[in-house]
Amino acid sequence: MRRPELNLNLKRKRKRDGRPVLAAQIADTWRFWALDGDQWASVDAPLAGDTLWRVAEYDALALHEGRRKAGLNRIGLEMIKSKPAIMRLGQWAAFAPADSVTLHGHAVQPIALTLMRRLPEMTAPALLRLKLPDGYTAFALYMRDKSVRGWVLSGAEDVSVTEQQILQKAGLTDAPGIDLPDVATLIAQATGVRPFPTEPEWGGLPVSVYRKAYVAVTAVVLAMAALYWIKGQAAQTAAHAHATAVDAQHAVALRTLEKWDLHHALALAKRSSLDPTALFAAARAVYLPGSQVSLTQGGKELVVELAQVSLAPIGNGRWTPRSAIEAGMAHPAPQGWRLTKLVRNGQGGYALVYKQQGGRP
């Protein structure tokens, strides 16, 4: 008997680079500027496909000098005072807090990556000055060990005061200042850079979950095919023989499913006879960039945990921005489901709850 196969085709196509978008944290708010031709224009958030460059106090860059992961972890922890995410690029290593490698659902590229080829020609120590849109200036220290410590932002009226404070705090009052090229020029000339790596995701779930799901769903399909075949054969014999065969095959299917640690819809499917295909379709329909989708109440509720952004370095924790809440509330519910409420999800977080209408999906 030919076995049915289920091809989930979970390969992610490589996206083309979109427009450059610059992100900088001003007080407790992220500001975004998109490059339109040769001019920066303020935008609410990056779009799908945009390339996101970040100017942040907690990003750092240093020569890795062949160090292994443990050595780089120590350097990153000392530089950013947090568990680091690490990315090697040539002779350099970039560091950022492990929980901040994405912003608004986009993988980020620290702006310091644009300086990798320029730094060896610069005097160290020095104070680097980078002009940003709308009159802002970002400062970073280029240290004697060839590292670039995180960026401090200043408005036009506070530039000289901020510069003096940075140098005094670092004990580098005699360090020269270096004016960097226009940020658009730096980005255009940057080569060999990439965003911080993140585990591949699809529909808010790691791809590893879908690999397990593929195997488990295939097992379900095979078990169901076996049940239908046995049912057809048993119809020609006594009812008792038919029932015995079906029970035996059902037990085999359950044992097969118990071997796999599935999440959300599939875990419920093996116990409650839910349709995983319909559940995945509903989850994909309510998914928003940066969100997480889970199934509760025996498959009758979908909970969408809206995207959150980090409050660092201003404060601790994470929060859901108003734009993410408004986008979620305006997002259409999938067929057979209804948005019932917006709930707090921890400190600063929000989630949308969809209820199934009528029968099971």
Tokens of 147: 């590292």
| Res 345: pLDDT | 78
**Residue 191's closest CA among 256, 113, 136?**
113
Question: What's the pLDDT score for residue 245?
Answer: 60
Instruction: State residue 204's pLDDT score.
Output: 39
**What residue spans of the chain are helical by DSSP H?**
69-80, 159-170, 183-189, 207-234, 239-258, 264-272, 276-286, 322-330
Q: pLDDT band for 264, please (50, 70, 90 cuts).
A: very low
- CB 342: neighbour CB atoms within 10 A? 15
- Reported as a pLDDT band with limits 50, 70 and 90, residue 314 is low
pLDDT at 319: 77
Confidence of residue 335 (pLDDT cuts 50, 70, 90): confident
Residues with Cβ < 8 Å from 213, sequence gap 6 or more?
8, 262, 266, 276
Q: Is 335:305 a contact under the CB 8 Å cutoff?
A: no
Round the average pLDDT of the chain to a whole number and report it.
79
Cβ neighbours of residue 248 closer than 8 Å, sequence gap 6 or more: none
Angstrom distance (rounded) from CA 96 to CA 110: 8
Euclidean distance between CA atoms 232 and 229, whole angstroms? 5
Distance of CA 25 to the CA centre of its chain: 18
- The Cα-based distances of 28 to 31, 107, 157, 351 in angstroms read 10, 20, 19, 22
Pick the more confident residue, 130 or 297: 130
Of 304, 295, 289, nearest to 349 (Cα)?
304
pLDDT of residue 217: 58
Looking at the predicted structure, is the pLDDT value of residue 273 above 70?
A: no
The residue ranking higher by pLDDT, 314 or 220, is 220
CA 196 to chain centroid: 10
pLDDT of residue 34: 96
**300 pLDDT above the threshold of 60:** yes
Q: Quote the percentage of the chain above a pLDDT of 70.
A: 70
